[in-house]
Each structure stands twice: as structure tokens, then as C-alpha cells.
Structure 1
Amino acid sequence: MSATITSTSPVNDPATTRKAMLGLGLGNTLEWYDWMLFGLVSAYIGPHFFPSHDPVAATLSALAVFAVGFAVRPLGGVLLGTVADRIGRRTVMLLSVTLMAVTTLVIAVTPTYDSIGVWSGVILLVCRLVQGISTGIEAPLSTAYAVEVTPKGREARAAGYISFYVNLGILLASLVSFFVSLAVGGATMQDWGWRIPFVVGAVMGVVVLYLRRSLPETLHESERAEGSASTVWRGVGKHWLALVAMIFVVGAAQAYNYAWTVGLPNLARSTFKEDPTGVFAASTALGVVMIVGSLVTGWLADRAKLSRTFIVTRLLAVPSVFLMLLYTEPGLGGLVSVLLGGSVVLVLNMTLYNLVATSLMPKHSRATGVALGYGIGVALFGGTASYVMIWLQSQNATWVFPTYTAVLSLISVVLYLAVRRSTGTYAGE
């Protein structure tokens, strides 16, 4: 099956394409607002949903639930990716937004451990599992869809566009948390104010779901009829080395990403007892760099070969991730310096990694293959990053985490080059 877009495809109409990309992009904003919000307020959620004798232990419990959500991302890729390759992209992208919005509302209203005991933690866990399934397909499928509706030669710009909306969601999570904390104060934020940003996310979901209904389908009826689940999976199996490469391409970028966006802010609040409003302000500044940098990176990457750009930016991550070793004691100045100092290399990697993964899989099995590789990579290396980083810091072995991330980055480059030599690439060049 080859799901090519013909000249009569509705996605070739500029107005339709712009509307589709808006709905696509804002869906990513919602997904990542809701997803990152949990990580940002884990230090508040932990004591409310788990026994709170030790604040650090309660935070680690909440981060463990955060990590569990990543564990089911491969399941989301397997189930929903196959549906997207067989039935269509649009249906799956509507479903992912619905799942995220509903579970975010549930988290906002779930009673605490003191009210209903262990059931509060169980409800929280179930919500994160469902959100993991949702995000397991959203990011890879969105990039694949954007590539399919974008003229050849502008794929990196499309990836930058999607990354812009992803980072907009992350920025909004920090920004909303910052303003809520500023408005209600640290004590109230700890008590119940952390619920307000979740309510905001649920309301956003209704708006985004309406907008996303206008997405055109890029997989034609005839193309769906020609394929089968076995055809899709044979394509994935044929490109097994590409699948392995995707795991490390995604995993290295996400280990870096979650260390900066979740691990360091939670380290600041739970271990170094930094002022929460100041921490949210620092996270917001990082979000601004990421959101602007996404568009710039996509624009620049279309002027160079994707392979060369990926290799250079990924190798730059090796020294950059060691900047985290500079934040070893309380002080917002140190946190801000590390977050912003590593932000430029971070945005380069986070803008391109999904496009690189998409380029390694042919279209007829792209949604399944990329979603599976993405899900495994994020589950193994991204979802565990913040937990591992804070745990290593508590064991006085902070240096291990940047070393680990640097090794992942080097492995991803080696595997990417191996795939290019064996099966080649299918987009972005």
C-alpha cells in the first residue's frame, strides 16, 4: 500500500491546509499542556495523593506515576497507529484529544488521599495510563500528518510548526501555573490551587475538539481498502533497524528534554526548596526559548540536509547536557542559568527528532512504526528521566545522568547512519 496524496486531495487547497494545520497544532498544544502540567506540579500532587511523611518521597511517588504514563505509550502506538494506517489519520487524532481532555478533568476533581485513601492514587494512575495511550500516538502521528500535507522541501518547516505548538502547550503549562501560584500564593497552591490549571486544560479540550473536526483525511478510501494490518506490520518488520534507530533518536532527545522541563524544576522545589513562583517563572522562560526556537530551527533546517543537521545538533547535545552539573545547591540564579544555557541545543534536538524518526519509515506503515518507536523511546528514556535524575542527586551521583544522556545521543547518531546506509530515508531530504 502506498498512501500518496493525489492532485485532487483536499489537503492541497491552501485554505484547507491552513485550517487543518491550525486544528492539528492546537491539538498538540492541548496534549502537551495537560501532559507537562502533571510533571510541573508533581511536588504538589504527591502529598495529596500519596502518604506524605516525606515530601521528597511523595514527589518521587508522583513522578513514578508520571513515568508509568510513558510505559503505555508503545501500546498507544501499536493500537492506534495500526488504526491510523488502516482506517485513517483523522479519527485517531480526534480520539487522542478526547481522551486527554476527559482525563485532565478527572484529575482536577479527584479527592485526596486523606478523603478516599488509596483510591485517589489508583484514579490518578488510571488517568495517566489513558493519557499515555493518547500521547503515544499524538506526537508521531501529528508529524507524519504534517509531512503528508506539506509540499516537498518544506518538511522541516512543518516539523517546526508542530514543535511550535507542542512547546506552546509546555509554555502554557508553565505560564498558567506561574500566574495561578502568583494569584493564590504558595500555601494555597500547595493546598488546592494546583487543581486550577487542570480545569483550564479541560476547558481548552472542548475548543480544540471542535477545531480538530475540520481536519481532512490524508489516507484515501481506496488506499485503506488495499492495505491490511498484516501489510502494515510486515512493513514495520522489514524496517526493524529503523525502528531501533527511532527508539534512540527519540529516547536521547526526550531524556534531555524531561531533565530540563520536569526534572530540574522538581529538583528545585522538592530538594532545594526554591520559591515555587520563581521556579515557574524559570520554566516559563525556557518555554519562550523553545517556542521561538522551534520555528527558527524548522526554517533553517529546510535550507540544509536533514541528515547533516540532525547529526550536528545531536552531537552538540553531548557537552550541553553536562550543564546540569552546575546546579548543585539552592539558588534561582543557578537554575535559570542551567535551564537557559542548555535551551538552545535542546530546541534544536526537540524540533527535529520526530521528523528524523518519520523519515526512516515508508508511508504505508509510518503511523504504526513511528508511533511504536516513539513510544518505546519515550517510555524507556524520557518517562524515567526526571525520576532517575532526582534519585541520582539524592545518592550524590548527579554526574551519572548527563553521562547516560550523552551516551544515548552518540548511539542515536550511529544507528541513524546505519539505517541511511541500509534502507535509506523517505522524507525530509
Structure 2
Amino acid sequence: MSKLQDPAPASRAEASPVRKPGHAKQLFALSAGHALEWYDWAMFGLLSVYIGQAFFPGENAVAATLNSLAVFAVGFVVRPIGGVVFGLVADRLGRKPVMVGAVAVTAAASLVIGILPTHETLGIWAGVIVLFCRIMQGFSTGIEGSLGAAYGVELVPDRPGYVAGFMATFNNLGNMLAPLTAFVTSSLIGPEGMADYGWRVPFILGGLLGFIVLWLRRTLPETLPAASSVAEGSRVTTRQQTGEVWKGVRKYWLSILAVVFIVGAIQAYNYTWLSGLPSIATGTYGEDPTGVFAVSTSLGVILTVGAFVLSRVLDKWDLSRWFVLGRLLAIPTIFLVLLYTGNGVGPLAAVLLGGSLVLLLNLTIFSTVANLMIPQQFRGTAVGLGYGIGVALFGGTASYLFVYLQSVGLGNVFPFYVATLCAISVVLYLVAKRKNGVFKGKQAD
């Protein structure tokens, strides 16, 4: 399997305007928004039991949890729309304004959920407002995940493995902060206080952190200049007209289909670990929530530290090889979920942590791998479309499907479903790579 081609001299020139000594600072500003996104989304799934009881009461705890997870899934359903709309804006007008606006909407929606009166006070309108917030977050995060990785690759085009590991460190930090915040809150006020009002604290914190991220992103450079600002005859990739963008999307349809499964398969695995298993532990098996949050926090620590380590080694080997290896390992590892049957926090920890290294490798590289399949000038729209569809179809529904199948005695079916998605993602990736190549800047391999 061939490696990514080094840019030609002219391509090095096109990258030079954004290759500055302070690229780590720029990547930090970019990655902080990713951390906030993953924090918010992991928190909603992690606290679905309490959210369901507060805004979507049902016959019992399981029904309320399923109602909440359904809203969790709705947020993912609108992500392809957000990915396409804002991806097109990013390819037409530039990356920076989209990245600033996306994080603002995400933070505002989180803050509203944190302070919103419950169903007991507002009736059905409480649930409607939460649903609206999730839809708005879906629109904004539909582009945050996909365009953020594209932005990072464009900031540091010659080190895709470093970019993947650096950004994944902060993605996983967001995942870690979600259960850590819940764990600390639950430890301080106890299970009853957590169910009463404590679940609000993480959402309010997420909203306030959004203002800090907005301040950090104000200094990000633009990586896709307007054609009018580029000297005639230059080979620098510039912003495209809408028609040209859609021509590119049609041309690379096979690569976009591969992106759907590259993203969707690992997100199904990811949300099983981050929210599906913890939701079953607390909602179905009645495990101590403090213990469950502690285990989830430990998983977050492994993913965060591990991604930082991988940022130092991934460029020593072709990302294509890392991707195929990680995805093939995910196929048997997903069957670990069958080992947890509600016999305490210990077995839950064995499953979550036992599958953590495979999850780590896949989560670290999937978004960068997806972006390298599309040329820079179409990347915002094309990857936004594929990323959003993959997350909506397979990621956002994973927790709901997992909990539902467990509740009707068909839990054994779920790992076969995820394993099939992983296998399809490998096949499509290899086929699309052979047909269209992969891209570093504008160079194809």
C-alpha cells in the first residue's frame, strides 16, 4: 500500500501562508471547539436517564431513557443537512466564519438545556425546547467535526498523523470531561441530588466554556483564500463557486460513500462505549451512577493520553495502514459488549476498558482519513455530507438501538450489526482509494 505523496514544490508554496511556527497554538484553538462538541454530545447520552425523567417522562425509567435517546438521535439526523449547508458556505466563503458560528450555536444550546424548567413546569413545551436545542446543535456540529479536521490538515498539511493525534487528544478530553464532571457532581450531592438538579451542572458548564472557545478561535487564519486575493497563475487552492463544488461532489461520489461508512462504523462503536453501555448500566441494571461515571472517566483518560501518544508516532507509518488495521481489530472487539450482563461496575469496567485501545486508534484517525479522501476545494461540502450521513444513520442511532435491543432480549444482535459496518467501511475505503486516490493538499496518491 503506497504512502501519501509528498507535495510538489508548487504545492509547498501553496501551503506556506498557513505553515507558521505557532501551528500548535492554532490547532489548540481549533481543537478546543472539538472538545466542547464531544463534551456536549457525550454528556447528553451519558445523562439520558435524568434528561428523560426531566423532560420526557414515560411509564418507567427505561421508557424515559429511550425517549431521551430518541431525541439524542434526532440531533444526529439533521447533521447531514448542517454538514452540507455549512460545508458549502465553508467552500464558498472560507473556513473561519463557519467554525466560529458552529461553536457559538453548540454552546448556546447546551446552556439552554442546563437552565430549562422541566416537564412538570412547562409541560410538553419543555420537551419541544430540548428537541429544538438538539436540532440546532445537530446543524452546527454537522460541520464542526468534519470541517475541523479539514481545517487542521490544511493548517499543517505535511503531518496528517500529528494533526489527527493532536485533535483527537482534545476530542477525547471532551469525552473525558463529560463523565468526570458527572462523577464529581454525583459524588458531591449523591444520586438523589443528581436526579433532582445535579445533571444540570455539566450542561451549564459546557455553555460557559463555549465563550472561551469563541475567544480562542478569533485568531485562526483562513486556509482557503478568495480567488481575488491570489496572484494570477498561482496554483493555490481557492474558494469555489457553488456549481463547481457540486461538480466535485458528483465526481467523488464513491469517496463520499466511503466516508459515510468510515465515520458511521466507528461512531456506532464509539457511542456504544460512551453512552450505550453506561445508559444500560444505570437505567436497566440500576448500577450506582457514581461508579459508572468513574469507569467512563477512566475510559476518557485512556483515550486522551493515548491520542497524545499516537500524535508522536502515527506519521511513522501510512495512515491507510493504520486505518485498515484499526478497523479490522474493531470487528472482534465489539463483541465484548456481550460480556456485560449487569453484574456490577467491575464487569462494566472490564468491557469498557478492554475495548479502549481499539477504540482509541480508530477514533484518533477516522476524521483525518475521511478528509484526505477529498480534494481541498470540495472538502467542506463533500466530507460534511458524508460525515453527517454516517453519524446520523449509524452513530446517533447506536445508543438507542443498543438499549432497545437489550430491552427486548435481542442484545446479541447488536455487535453483529457494528461488525458488519466496520467490514463495509474497509472494503469501500480500499475501493475508493484505488479509484480516486487520497489527497494531501491537492496532491493525489
TM-score range, shorter chain: over 0.9
Q: AA paired with 1:384?
A: T
Task: Say which of 254, 257, 262 aligns to 1:244.
Answer: 257
Is 1:43 equivalent to 2:88 in the alignment?
Answer: no
1:283 aligns with 2:296: yes
Do structure 1's residue 78 and structure 2's residue 91 form an aligned pair?
no
Counterparts of 2:133 and 2:106 in 1: how far apart (Å)?
9
Aligned-residue Cα RMSD (Å) equals: 1.6
What per-residue deviation string (whole Å, max 9, x for no partner) do you get for residues 17-57 of structure 1? 23211210111111111121111111001011012431100
Pairing 1:292-331 to 2, within 5 Å after superposition: 292-331=305-344
Q: Secondary structure at the match of 2:317?
A: coil
Report the counterpart of residue 233 of structure 2 in structure 1: none
Kindly indicate whether the alpha-carbon contact (under 8 Å) linking 1:5 and 1:148 is maintained by their aligned counterparts in 2.
no
Identify which of 211, 218, 224 aligns with 1:206: 211
> Partner residue of 1:175?
180
What is the distance in 1 between the residues matched to 2:15 and 2:401? Answer: 50
Provide the rounded CA distance (Å) in 2 between the counterparts of 1:197 and 1:265: 17
* C-alpha distance in 2 between matches for 1:404 and 1:319: 12
What's the CA shift for 1:300? 2.4
SS of the equivalent of 1:285 reads helix
**Over 3 Å off, 4+ runs:** 3-10, 223-226
Give the superposition deviation at 1:301.
Answer: 2.1
| Contact kept? 2:94, 2:239, Cα under 8 Å | no
Deviation at 1:109, TM superposition (A): 1.2
Q: Which moved more, 1:30-39 or 1:380-389?
A: 30-39
Q: Does 1:379 align with 2:392?
A: yes
Q: Equivalents in 1 of 2:307, 2:424: separation in Å?
A: 24
Q: Which runs of 5+ in 2 are unaligned?
A: 1-9, 230-237
Say yes or no: does 1:220 pair with 2:225. Answer: yes
The Cα offsets for residues 353-386 of structure 1, whole Å up to 9 and x where unpaired, read as 1111111101110011111100000000000000
**Shift in Å at residue 6 of structure 1?**
4.1
1:20-39 aligned at under 5 Å gives the runs 20-39=26-45
Q: In the alignment, residue 401 of structure 1 is paired with which amino acid?
A: F
- TM-score, L = length of structure 2: 0.93
Which consecutive residues of structure 1, in runs of 5 or more, have no partner in the other structure?
A: none
- How far, CA to CA, are the matches of 1:158 and 1:51 in structure 2? 43
% identity of equivalent residues? 52
2:138 to 115, 132, 136: 132
- TM-superposed deviation, 1:257: 0.2
8 Å contact from structure 2 (residues 54, 118) kept in 1: yes
Counterpart mapping for 1:54-69 below 5 A: 54-69=60-75
Aligned counterparts, 1:258-277, within 5 A: 258-277=271-290
Q: Secondary structure at the match of 1:360?
A: coil
Aligned equivalents of 1:218, 1:74: Cα separation in 2: 23
- Is residue 273–residue 330 contact of structure 1 (8 Å, CA) maintained in 2? no
Deviation of the 1:223 alpha carbon: 6.8
Distance 1:249 1:259 in 2: 16
Given that 1:107 and 1:127 are in contact with CA atoms closer than 8 Å, whether structure 2 keeps it comes out as yes
Q: TM-score, normalised by structure 1?
A: 0.96
The answer as to whether partners of 1:5 and 1:218 remain within 8 angstroms in 2 is: no
